[in-house]
Amino acid sequence: MKKKYEPKKTDENSSKQTRLSRQLTQIYQDNEGRLPDMRKIKIKKSRSAFKTFFVILLLGGLLSAAAWAGFFLMPNDKKFSEDQINLTISGPKNVTAGTTTTYKISYENNQGLTLTKATLNAQYPKGFVFLSSDPVSKNSGHTEWNLDKIGPYKKKEITIVGLTYGSLGQKQSWRVFLTYQPDNFGSELQKASISDVAIDKSPYSLAVSGPSKTIVGNASEYTFTIKKEDNSGINKLELKPSWPQNFFITSSSPALSKDNKWIIDPNKINTSTPLVANNWTFKIIGKFSNSTLDAGDISGSLFTTVNNIAFALADAKATTELTQNDLDFNLAINGSLANFSSQPGDSLNVTLSLKNQSANDLKNASLKLTLDAPSVKKQSLLDWPKLEDKFDGDVRGIQISNNLRRGEITWNKNKIPSLAKINKNQEISLDIRLPIKNNSVFNLSDLNTSSQIMALAEVSFKDPDGVSHTYSSNQIIITVNSDLKFETRDSISLSGSGQKHQITWVLTNNFHPLKNLTLSADVYGDVKVEPASPAPAGEIKFDPASKKIIWTIPEMPEGVDVLALPITITLNNVNPTQELLVSKTHIQADDTVTGEKLDFMGDEIKLR
């Protein structure tokens, strides 16, 4: 077998080198066929792109770290610190109410950069009345100052002058806010400061004095004394006396205002409130009626009002021990011994009852009933010509004021013989009836001030020693509400096998304006209900599921004396056992003058 020829490795390598030499000669020889001297060529080693990027990143990080280290560790006036911003409020911490006070707001930049867009806002205590400031504020409420720029290491202040009011012992707070932007920041920052102030003294004192003991039913006098203790900016004072429910005032000096207060101008001498050595004196006379209490407190509160806020300046009271008398003497009206409400046209059924519980007989006793009622042109709201009194007591009319008239009925032994001598444990009782006028005989719309009737009775007698005594009964105040009336009208016609009812709900009102009126009633049977749409006032709704009619009226003002709502109710089939078509109507309304809620029921509609 012939052996295959295999070239030697040395021959193969020699051939490859020859080819490589030719290729290099072609690359590096010039146009004239010369080759460069390879010994003179320098060969430079290259790095990869990744290694280059890593080196740059590392160097950048080292440089940044060095920069931040220099920023934090090396001294630098341009570094911002909130702790270097100071904001303080200085001024009195304890104040006499109503006196002039001065407060200073200091702001300071303790660093080497500028604060820009600087604004200061102040929130005053509720009782602070601004008078002036330096510099002048930029807004009408005197609560904001435009500071613009606060330079490096600058300190400035704002001075504010005003009157500080408050209740005695009350704490209030000043709150100020500094808004700014450091010149190397892109957002605003804020600094706040709070300072408390307390009202620890009043420029006026109040004292109340009265008897330490009194017999129930006897007149007792109480004195209220205001004394000026210090100067202040207060130019109006209000003194409000308070008394328990079983005490009633018979007179006051000077006369109390409509809301039972005395108004004082401390800077003006007034004949009705005499000023003697900076003192003002006020008096009330009244009586305690029978009750289970063994003592009564008569108190007073002195206050001033600023920005519609009342601040109490002083309080005082006098406590009187009550001793029960030997008479059981009571006044009842319409069965009530306490206050109640009524309406024009109603009658007052008055009962006086007296029982001698003493150990002795009473001689020459007399009874007096006093009724104070609103009036117009000296005509009382009470219908005195229609008085019913079987003992025919003596009646006297007294005009107390333009809007108040008093009626007095007096009975003595000539009218009631048993009053000549009331034996021990003997009882005497009398009844009278007196109507309140209605709109048909009296123009109720002219009564635009008072809507109350005050009733009080007195008994006078002599004890066995000939000493005269006068005791009072309990007082009753009758609030006369609006004369709102309701009427249901029903007209019936046949409708197939059923009935058609043309119903009208009628409201009449001649006295006080009303609001929040609601009328509601239930409808019975197989019916179709069609209220008038739109309603003459307010909104009318009928719920077919509950079969309830509801009429709501926001207000019935003065001048609107009638509102009538037509409602058509068709009874599809008459059920012989059905007696009612519509239930009693529930009427509710708010009296805008007395503030009381009227709530009563109107007639139902029966099937005929």
Q: Which domains does the chain have, with CATH numbers?
A: 82-201 (2.60.40.1530), 204-323 (2.60.40.3670), 327-480 (2.60.40.10), 485-606 (2.60.40.1170)
Closest alpha carbon to 201 in 174, 173, 234? 234
Cβ(231)–Cβ(99) below 8 Å:
yes
- DSSP tag of 604: P
Tell me whether strands 189-201 and 128-134 are parallel, antiparallel or unpaired.
unpaired
Most confident segment among 61-65, 244-248, 297-301, 306-310 = 297-301
How far is the C-alpha of 97 from the C-alpha of 141, rounded, in Å? Answer: 22
**Residue 296 scores a pLDDT above 50:** yes
Mean pLDDT along residues 307-312 = 88
Range of weakest confidence among 151-165, 271-285, 341-355: 271-285
The predicted pLDDT at position 17 comes to: 57
Straight-line distance from the first to the last Cα atom of the chain, in angstroms, rounded to the nearest whole number: 146
Residue-wise pLDDT for 526-576, tens only, equals 999 999 889 999 999 999 999 999 999 999 998 899 999 999 999 988 888
- Laid out side by side, the sheet with 154-164 consists of 85-90, 99-109, 154-164, 128-134
Burial of 53 by CB count in 10 Å (0-12 exposed, 13-18 middle, 19+ buried)? Answer: exposed
Cβ(305)–Cβ(311) below 8 Å:
yes
The predicted pLDDT at position 254 comes to: 92
Strand, helix or coil at 84?
A: helix
- Interacting residues of 5 by C-beta distance below 8 A, sequence separation 6+: none
How far is the C-alpha of 487 from the C-alpha of 505, rounded, in Å? Answer: 6
Cβ(300)–Cβ(317) below 8 Å:
yes
Cβ(249)–Cβ(285) below 8 Å:
yes
**Residue 2 scores a pLDDT above 50:** no
Strand, helix or coil at 200?
A: strand
Phi/psi of residue 448, each to 5°? Answer: -105, 15
How far is the C-alpha of 158 from the C-alpha of 105, rounded, in Å? Answer: 5
The CA radius of gyration of the chain, in Å to the nearest whole number, is 48
Dihedral (C-alpha) 125, 127, 131, 134: value to the nearest 10 degrees? -10
Residue-wise pLDDT for 450-459, tens only, equals 789 999 999 9
How far is the C-alpha of 386 from the C-alpha of 433, rounded, in Å? Answer: 8
The predicted pLDDT at position 121 comes to: 95
Phi/psi of residue 215, each to 5°? Answer: -90, 135
Tell me whether strands 309-323 and 213-215 are parallel, antiparallel or unpaired.
parallel
The predicted pLDDT at position 398 comes to: 94
**Residue 243 scores a pLDDT above 80:** yes
Burial of 464 by CB count in 10 Å (0-12 exposed, 13-18 middle, 19+ buried)? Answer: exposed
Cβ(535)–Cβ(550) below 8 Å:
no
Count of other CB atoms within 10 angstroms of residue 468: 9
User: In which residue are the tokens 């003596």 written?
Assistant: 394
Mean pLDDT along residues 503-516 = 94
**Residue 475 scores a pLDDT above 50:** yes
Closest alpha carbon to 446 in 384, 507, 380? 380
Tokens of 496: 């197939």
Cβ(504)–Cβ(566) below 8 Å:
yes
Q: Which residues of 312-340 are buried (b: 16+ CB within 10 A; e: fewer)?
A: bbbbbbbebebeebbbebbbbbeeeeeee
Strand, helix or coil at 585?
A: coil
Count of other CB atoms within 10 angstroms of residue 227: 15
**Residue 104 scores a pLDDT above 80:** yes
- DSSP tag of 406: E
- The larger pLDDT score, comparing residue 259 to residue 427, is at 427
Closest alpha carbon to 213 in 127, 325, 136? 325
The predicted pLDDT at position 574 comes to: 80
pLDDT band at 282 (very low <50, low <70, confident <90, very high): very high
Tell me whether strands 527-531 and 562-571 are parallel, antiparallel or unpaired.
antiparallel
pLDDT band at 36 (very low <50, low <70, confident <90, very high): low
- Looking at every residue in the chain, the average pLDDT score rounds to 86
pTM of the predicted model as reported, rounded to 2 decimal places: 0.63
- Interacting residues of 213 by C-beta distance below 8 A, sequence separation 6+: 320, 321, 322, 323
How far is the C-alpha of 534 from the C-alpha of 529, rounded, in Å? Answer: 15
The predicted pLDDT at position 246 comes to: 87
pLDDT band at 1 (very low <50, low <70, confident <90, very high): very low
Tokens of 89: 């409020």
How far is the C-alpha of 587 from the C-alpha of 606, rounded, in Å? Answer: 19
**Omega into 435 within 30° of 0, i.e. cis?**
no
Cβ(103)–Cβ(89) below 8 Å:
yes
Mean pLDDT along residues 334-346 = 92
- The larger pLDDT score, comparing residue 303 to residue 78, is at 303
- Laid out side by side, the sheet with 498-508 consists of 485-495, 498-508, 562-571, 527-531
Range of weakest confidence among 35-49, 260-274, 405-419, 508-522: 35-49
pLDDT band at 61 (very low <50, low <70, confident <90, very high): low
**Residue 270 scores a pLDDT above 70:** no
**Residue 602 scores a pLDDT above 90:** yes
